[in-house]
């Protein structure tokens, strides 16, 4: 038998109380998992601040793509 201590007991209680919420959380985590594989993010705002408009220059994608060592640029906006 695997003993996981207090964190394991807390996790087990959470799963028992709200299995659908745990499932939804795991599915959401999986959909964002690839974000950890990115080398750099470019943003006009600091961490924890969500941009509300496309406020980077229109040519930023091509400028970043032209930098040495950049394999790909994928534009996107988090909102």
Rounded Cα gap, residues 30 and 13, in angstroms = 22
Q: Above 60 in pLDDT, residue 79?
A: no
Instruction: Quick: pLDDT tens for 4-61.
Output: 678 778 878 878 888 888 777 777 776 777 777 888 888 877 777 777 776 788 898 9
SS3 9: helix
Instruction: Return d(Cα 24, Cα 26) in angstroms, integer.
Output: 5
Q: pTM score > 0.85 for this model? A: no
């Amino acid at each position: 038998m695997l003993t996981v201590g207090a964190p394991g007991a807390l996790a087990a209680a959470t799963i028992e109380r709200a299995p659908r919420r745990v499932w939804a959380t795991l599915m959401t985590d999986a959909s964002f998992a690839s974000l950890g594989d990115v080398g750099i993010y470019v943003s006009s705002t600091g961490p924890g601040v969500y941009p509300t408009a496309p406020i980077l220059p229109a040519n930023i994608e091509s400028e970043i793509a032209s930098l040495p060592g950049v394999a790909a640029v994928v534009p996107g906006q988090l909102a």
